[in-house]
Chains A and B, each alone.
Chain A
Amino acid sequence: MKLYYFSVAGVFLSLGLSATELPDRQAQLPSVAKDANAQYLTPSELSTIPKGEFGDKVRKGYQLFVNSQQMRDTYVGNELNCVNCHMNAGNKANASPLWGAYLAYPAYRKKNDKVNSYEERIQGCFTYSMNGKAPESGSESLVAISAYSYWLAMSGLMNQFGITGPVPEMTDGELLKGGNREDFPLPDAVTSKLDQKALTMLPGRGFPKLAKPELAYSVQRGETVYQAHCQACHGDDGQGLKMAEVSSLPPLWGPQSYNWGAGMHRVNTAANFIYENMPLGKSMQLTVQQAWDVAAFVNAHERPQDPRFKGHIAETQASFHQHDGFYGKPSPIDASVTLGVEAYPIFPASQ
């Protein structure tokens, strides 16, 4: 019976997604172990963004990125800001920098047998991480975030290869595609040193892959780690801290955090992120085991529903959750509760 059940799930996958179905645009982040000698791109200072229309788009992208709450109720449905996970305004290596992502799209995705543009990847962030509503294709905010990402990537490459002058401007349509395409204009000084494939896998892209823990991760041990090292900022209830109506310190679970479709709900992704980037400013280093344990603890709480949910937790779990996460599974905190059943609303109106 069980075998039959999983073969049905396999059919779901092989059929691909119908036009009305939400595509999975938060597949597992590619992660590789950190290389101690890696040279990371160093994008230019914000003060060098050029004057004029193109520069205005880049600046707008930066502003949306660090204060995403200005899109609350239009595209954002929780209290997060992009910068909560992409440290230093999307500029920091090993914190999923925008320059790394920009050069990796468009990307072919086996899962839906489709080439995803950069714009579509950003739409995925709004649908899942921001528990919101994806801005329409070509909309001002997608152009702005793409322009900012492009500017970081191109200025970083130009700095690395000693190319002077302003970052070449591109049209909105080109900006939205991403940098992983044959017709993407790259200076010869770059293409002579790096091929397209290398550019999609720049050091510092995504979050660095953390070694497996010695012991299987434990939500119970994770709670102790949380109380000792996370609670001071994220609160004893994981709801962060609001100041002047803005969650300066982000909620990690519950109705105001990322939903069950977001990449961060995976225990491995969260462990990678936490080990590398937390606590903010790196005043101390968690052990590998602590990072896994606390990632499990954070992600063993209820959060907003997976936007691909069609009324059956088990089906959503079978189709989209064959990975390291707690969706559709008994809560390790209270086994009588199946996570996802009491999920919070998708894209709720703010309170």
Chain B
Amino acid sequence: MSFSAMATIPDESPKELLQKVPAAAQVCLSCHGVNGEGLGVAGPRLAGLSSEYIATQVSHFQTGSRQNPTMMAMAMTVQGDNIKVVSDFFASKPVTAIKLQYRGDKVVIDDIGEKLAYQGDWQRDIPACTSCHGPSGIGAGQFPRLAGQEPTYFKNQLLAWQTGTRTGDADNMMGNIAKKLTAAEIDALTQYFSAQK
């Protein structure tokens, strides 16, 4: 098994790739990329998210729990069984393996984003992000992957949780945490997690 060979010779050409995209997911590609890799400010990365998370978010855009003009319109084009088709498709896209950092790997952490990620700030009842989002924020289930996410999107989500234009989680757990974060902390978290790739 040669990984170097696999890395240099693409398994499929871009054209072949496109043919494998389910019809229902074609509408997503111009912003999220053929491999759900994300296209910068145009659209966040979907690869690395679970199918159940993607499906839930599609329905949140449809019902207005998440407010975003583009995505609210786009989500309406995906209905019924197609929600699962689209979600499974992007969830199956691979992400590059990263070296995982577990809680406790570092005792003293200077970066304020990294410190919140692994230790939280319990004076304000802010748990460590990684206690729900996993080592290095790789996520699973209804907890989205944070590692390697597109920074503009990442920051906008924390702001959306703060202002309430994003809701839909159990007991407003994420909104409650986001409301306690300062602007500098949001920037630091954005920088930290988007760099984990």
Contact = CB atoms under 8 A, between A and B. Distances in A.
A125 to B, nearest CB: 17
A65 B104 contact: yes
Interface string A228-252: 0101110000000111101011000
Contacts of A244: 100, 102, 134-136, 138
Contacts of A190: none
B132 A67 contact: no
A66 B135 CA distance: 12
A32 interface: no
Contacts of B132: 233, 248-249, 280
B171 A283 contact: yes
A88 to B, nearest CB: 4
B23 interface: no
Nearest to B136: A244
Contacts of B143: 241, 243, 248
B139 interface: yes
B81 interface: no
Contacts of A173: none
A92 B125 CA distance: 10
Contacts of A46: 107-108, 119
Contacts of A89: 119
A283 B133 contact: no
A207 interface: no
A281 B134 contact: no
A284 B171 contact: yes
Interface in A36-61: 46-47, 49, 59
Interface in A71-108: 81, 83, 87-89, 91-92
18 contacts: A64-B104, A66-B104, A92-B122, A229-B170, A241-B143, A243-B140, A244-B100, A244-B102, A248-B134, A281-B127, A281-B173, A282-B125, A283-B173, A283-B175, A283-B176, A283-B177, A284-B171, A284-B172
Given A66-B103, A67-B104, A281-B125, 4 more contacts: A67-B102, A229-B170, A244-B135, A279-B173
Interface of A: 46-47, 49, 59, 62-67, 81, 83, 87-89, 91-92, 229, 231-233, 241-244, 246, 248-249, 279-284
